[in-house]
Amino acid sequence: MGAPEPVLSVRDLTVTFPTPHGPVRAVDGLGFDVRRGETLGIVGESGSGKSVTSLAVMGLHTGASVSGSISLGGRELTGLPERELNRLRGRKMAMIFQDPLSSLHPYYTVGEQIAEHHRVHFGSGRKAARERAVEALAEVGIPDPRRRAREYPHQFSGGMRQRVMIAMALVCEPDLLLADEPTTALDVTVQAQILELIARVQEERGLAVIMITHDLGVVARVAHEVLVMYGGRAVERADVDTLFAVPAHPYTRGLLDSLPRLDDSDDEPLRAIPGSPPSLLAPAPGCAFAPRCPRLADAPAQERARCETELPLLDGPAGLPQVLDSSPKLSASFEQGGPPCTGGTPMVACHFPAYEGVAP
């Protein structure tokens, strides 16, 4: 299958913060693509580098050094002058956050703010921009949009505020929507509404979406392709069905095993991952997951030494396709209508990957 050109292409992205305790490499050598109409889920625990990644894509880091390549619609963004970047930001790509209040001004009505955004990017007149704002509010399902446009952010509920942010993001008709934990602060019934809304506008406009979240359930619901992050690095990348059915990285597998599930029997204790996420201040030379890795714990000394000293790179290991072909869970998933992903072979950053599937 010929994959369409990606809307966004990121290669070898590295973000380093200078801190009093030395440099912190919050994101290290990250690469991914997102295509039109597709959703890339970026999942990882807190501190794994998800937000730092999204801010880097938006070009919003001030105190950090960012290297690598970020290319939007074929255009290289790294090294672009601030003015150029400002023009593209909001226009070609838009971002929504966990806390909409942090990016809405308390003293202007939401209608004014959306209109202003439109005016800046399209040079539209006041009246036309105001009309566009009302239309945008209607499109995201805000009842009585003309009246609500004249209200201030604090007059909106959390879910309605996130709709306002989506309206603001869409008013400039971007190609890429970056959503950083957009539903984490919302209740589950409101989360369902917002995820549905994003899916609808994605379908209508063919948007490329990056959905950043710590919630594997959200990823399973919305993503076509998934990137799992740990300690600032990608540990696994695969289409959503492969990732959930036959996770190859011990961390991905550990995460899936440790989740309490609605469809579980509840009898056995949860298979928790021991220990806690790594410190970025003193990264180990080898695999960041080594201190917690069950596969390493059972491995012979020689293999252990390799994990502890040699950084595993994100690779598509040989032998993967056969294993995938023989996974009953995965073929069931595909038969059931899962979208084969255009992103290419699954990749994993582990010296000893295994495709054993999640515990039954």
Partner 1 sequence: MTFTEPLLSVVDLTMTFPGRRRSAPVRAVDGVTFHVAAGETLGLVGESGCGKSTTGRMIVRLLEPTAGSVTYDGRDISHLSQRELKPLRQDLQMVFQDPHSSLNPRQTVARIISDPLLVQGGSAADARKRVAELMELVGLIPEHIDRYPHEFSGGQAQRIGIARALATGPRLVVADEPVSALDVSVQAQIVNLMDRLQRELGLAYLFIAHDLSVVKRVCDRVAVMYLGRIVEIGPKERVYAAPAHPYTRALLSAVPLPDPAAERARERITLHGDLPSPAAPPPGCAFHPRCPKAQEVCRTGTPALRRMEPGAARQVACHFPEAA
Ligand X SMILES: Nc1ncnc2c1ncn2[C@@H]1O[C@H](COP(=O)(O)OP(=O)(O)O)[C@@H](O)[C@H]1O
Contacting positions for partner 1 (CB under 8 A): 45-46, 157-160, 187-193, 195-196, 214-221, 223, 240-241, 244, 254-256, 258-264, 266, 269-274, 276-277, 292, 332-333, 336-338
User: What would the two tokens of residue 332 be?
Assistant: 């069931």
User: Among Mg ion, ligand SF4, ligand X, none, what binds residue 280 when CB lies within 5 to 8 Å by partner kind?
Assistant: ligand X
In the complex with Mg ion, which residue's Cβ is closer, 27 or 129? 27
Q: How far is 3 from 17, CA to CA, in rounded Å? A: 35
User: Among ligand SF4, ligand X, partner 1, none, what binds residue 352 when CB lies within 5 to 8 Å by partner kind?
Assistant: ligand SF4
Note whether 248 binds ligand SF4 by CB under 6 A. Answer: no
Q: Which of 49, 100, 247, 278 binds ligand X (CB under 6 A)?
A: 49
Q: Which of 34, 52, 287, 314 binds ligand SF4 (CB under 6 A)?
A: 287
In the complex with partner 1, which residue's Cβ is closer, 126 or 261? 261
Q: Which of 8, 290, 341, 347 binds ligand SF4 (CB under 6 A)?
A: 290
Look at residues 125, 163, 170, 162 and name the one whose alpha carbon lies nearest to residue 145: 163
Per-residue burial over 195-210, b if 16 or more Cβ lie within 10 Å, else e, is bebbeebbeeeebbbb
* Cβ-based neighbour number of residue 324 at 10 Å: 20
Note whether 350 binds ligand SF4 by CB under 6 A. Answer: yes
Strand partners, 348: 236, 315
User: Among partner 1, ligand SF4, ligand X, none, what binds residue 49 when CB lies within 5 to 8 Å by partner kind?
Assistant: ligand X
* Cβ-based neighbour number of residue 28 at 10 Å: 21
Note whether 190 binds ligand X by CB under 6 A. Answer: no
Q: Which of 48, 183, 191, 202 binds ligand X (CB under 6 A)?
A: 48
Name the segment binding ligand SF4 (CB under 6 A); options: 30-38, 259-267, 319-327, 348-356: 348-356
* Cβ-based neighbour number of residue 281 at 10 Å: 11
Residue with tokens 């912190």: 24
Note whether 352 binds ligand X by CB under 6 A. Answer: no
In the complex with Mg ion, which residue's Cβ is closer, 47 or 159? 47
Q: 18 and 280 in contact (C-beta within 8 Å)?
A: no
In the complex with ligand X, which residue's Cβ is closer, 134 or 228? 228
Q: What angle do CA 327, 328, 330 make, to 5 degrees?
A: 70
Q: Which of 1, 21, 22, 46 binds ligand X (CB under 6 A)?
A: 46
Look at residues 231, 229, 179, 213 and name the one whose alpha carbon lies nearest to residue 26: 231
Q: How far is 46 from 108, CA to CA, in rounded Å? A: 33
Q: Which of 32, 97, 156, 289 binds ligand SF4 (CB under 6 A)?
A: 289
Round the CA-based radius of gyration of the chain to a whole number and report it.
21
Q: 89 and 59 in contact (C-beta within 8 Å)?
A: yes
Q: 244 and 338 in contact (C-beta within 8 Å)?
A: no
* Cβ-based neighbour number of residue 111 at 10 Å: 25
Residues engaged in binding Mg ion (CB under 5 A): 50-51
Residues engaged in binding ligand SF4 (CB under 6 A): 250, 287, 289-290, 293, 295-296, 307, 312, 350-352
